[in-house]
Amino acid sequence: MPSSVRRLTMATITNSLSLKHTLSFGFPQSKTLTRNRIPPSSNSLAFRCYASYANENREYVIVGGGNAAGYAARTFVEHGVADGRLCIVTKEAFAPYERPALTKAYLFPPDKKPARLPGFHTCVGSGGERQTPEWYKEKGIEMLYEDPVENVDIEKQTLTTSSGKLLKYGSLIIATGCTASRFPAKIGGDLSGVHYIRDVADADALISSLGKAKKVVVVGGGYIGMEVAAAAVAWNLDTTIIFPEDHLLQRLFTPSLARRYEELYQKNGVKILKGASIKNLEASSNGNGHVAAVKLGDGSIVEADTVIIGIGSKPAVGPFERVGLNTDVGGIKVDGQFRTSIPGVFAVGDVAAFPLKIYNRIARVEHVDHARRSAQHCVKALLSAQTNTYDYLPYFYSRVFEYEGSLRKVWWQFFGDNVGETVEIGNFDPKIATFWIESGKLKGVLLESGSPEEFQLLPELARSQPPIDKAKLQNASSVEEALDIARGSLKAAV
């Protein structure tokens, strides 16, 4: 029997099994079939269904093209099962990349060495190989770009994209991340010059605006707002950050710690309006539909020709609601191996509501570190005998003012849980450390401008939660001494 016929027979048998038992065995599809164009017989239902699917690689399908998808792909490759068996479908025009760059170095002005693709494709953020589009081709991974999934049929194990493509999957990994929270159109949220950042296209549009802008307003005092404001002043623009809370990054920073960062931002030229509500964004009077000002709740006006909204995000559940949602933290409910309530369907990264084992609660973590780790854990559980529960330690960081000409570079890291009382050590010149203590145990640590060795200590402390002498810590004369005390507590607890 000729080899092309043997391949045709195997493909037909495979798809007959898939139709009958809703299983996808995912044999690599033969290019010989397309090349020779062997016509199906009139009674070959299996072949007709086989030909109707738009993806060649069907055993494993990842929906989403962000950090989690890139790290999942690497893990599939490491296990030797990507070639001809893995498909990634994404709404973006680019292969997966390290998304945090978009609000950091990507926004630097042209004269300050901005980051650009392919420089920050996954997995360079963790020291791994740069996975360019060519990398995916070489590894036999099928990439479907600019075609988001709009419908899922759980029973038939199929997906339908916005272009109408019908995709087949055996195992499905949902890695759709989040979408930016937006201002309603009725208060100006869709005006020209108003920006939200979630992908490269968003960031490119903002860069275009920054190149022509004179007055910039950043709405939101969290991670996005702080990072975008730090980048905007590098363009020598009049920059104001507005937020309703009492201080910057209220969900993590203490008032005392926030004051240090607020002073630094002001020294760099950022104006800060805190405790301020926004009534609406106002359009230009010339009728061009471009934003001209931000009107505050007290009636005052802040002029702006460019506005960036950074007020949080929402899990991009999209068509996957039926998989099972968590009503408390949002997102898709999964177990400790990222399995949903539907067999063969998984969810990872920002969209997953998972058991946070260390603190015995359900959490949804919007952070690149979790996106990487959850993707790797999920794929290992899917492909191997791994049965251990995901044991994540919350970690957050930020790096700002890292361009030439800034007063100083800022780089802080936090590990653990920000609960209980706090002890702050240091004068922010350049270091400062904050320790969270509950019931006599160290729960979390934030360190600014630490050395590599000091940063490496933080996750050990947060995971071990050693008993610590609060009074002794308060009397430390420096950050280094405070960390030595914490290190001593760690050793004593062993």
Q: Taking residues 279-292, report their average pLDDT.
A: 96
Q: Taking residues 424-438, report their average pLDDT.
A: 97
As its CATH architecture, domain 409-493 has 2-Layer Sandwich (3.30)
The 10s digit of each residue's pLDDT in 85-112 is 999 999 999 999 999 999 999 999 999 9
Q: Where residue 494 falls among pLDDT bands split at 50, 70, 90?
A: confident
pLDDT at 6: 35
pLDDT at 175: 98
Q: Taking residues 208-221, report their average pLDDT.
A: 98
- Percent of the chain's residues with pLDDT above 90: 87
The 10s digit of each residue's pLDDT in 390-423 is 999 999 999 999 999 899 999 999 999 999 999 9
The 10s digit of each residue's pLDDT in 229-274 is 999 999 999 999 999 999 999 999 999 999 999 999 999 999 999 9
Q: Is 3.50.50.60 the CATH classification of the domain at 185-311?
A: yes
The 10s digit of each residue's pLDDT in 341-374 is 999 999 999 999 999 999 999 999 999 999 999 9
Start-end of H helices in 211-301: 223-232, 255-267
Question: Does the structure show a pLDDT above 90 at 14?
Answer: no
DSSP 117-185: TTTTBTTGGGT-----HHHHHHTT-EEE-S--EEEEETTTTEEEETT--EEE-SEEEE---EEE----G
CATH 3.30.390.30 boundaries in the chain: 409-493
pLDDT at 194: 98
Question: Does the structure show a pLDDT above 90 at 25?
Answer: no
Q: How far is CA 151 from CA 141, 160, 284, in A?
A: 22, 5, 40
Euclidean distance between CA atoms 143 and 140, whole angstroms: 9
Q: In what order do the strands lie in the sheet with 238-243?
A: 194-195, 306-309, 215-219, 238-243, 270-274
Question: Does the structure show a pLDDT above 70 at 43?
Answer: no
Question: Does the structure show a pLDDT above 80 at 313?
Answer: yes
162's CB contacts (< 8 A; 6+ apart) are 91, 147, 148, 149, 150
Please tell me the CATH code under which domain 60-179+315-383 is placed.
3.50.50.60
According to DSSP, the residues that pair with 301 across neighbouring strands are 295
Q: Where residue 387 falls among pLDDT bands split at 50, 70, 90?
A: confident
Q: How far is CA 185 from CA 182, 188, 281, 301, in A?
A: 9, 5, 10, 19
Average per-residue pLDDT for the chain: 90
Q: Which two tokens stand for residue 74?
A: 């690497």
Q: Taking residues 113-130, report their average pLDDT.
A: 97
Q: Where residue 385 falls among pLDDT bands split at 50, 70, 90?
A: confident
Q: Taking residues 179-205, report their average pLDDT.
A: 98
Nearest one of 413, 415, 437 to 424, comparing CA atoms: 437
**Could you give the count of Cα atoms lying within 13 Å of 186 in the half-sphere of its Cβ?**
0
CB of 271 within 8 A of CB of 239? Answer: yes
CATH 3.50.50.60 boundaries in the chain: 60-179+315-383, 185-311
Q: Where residue 493 falls among pLDDT bands split at 50, 70, 90?
A: confident
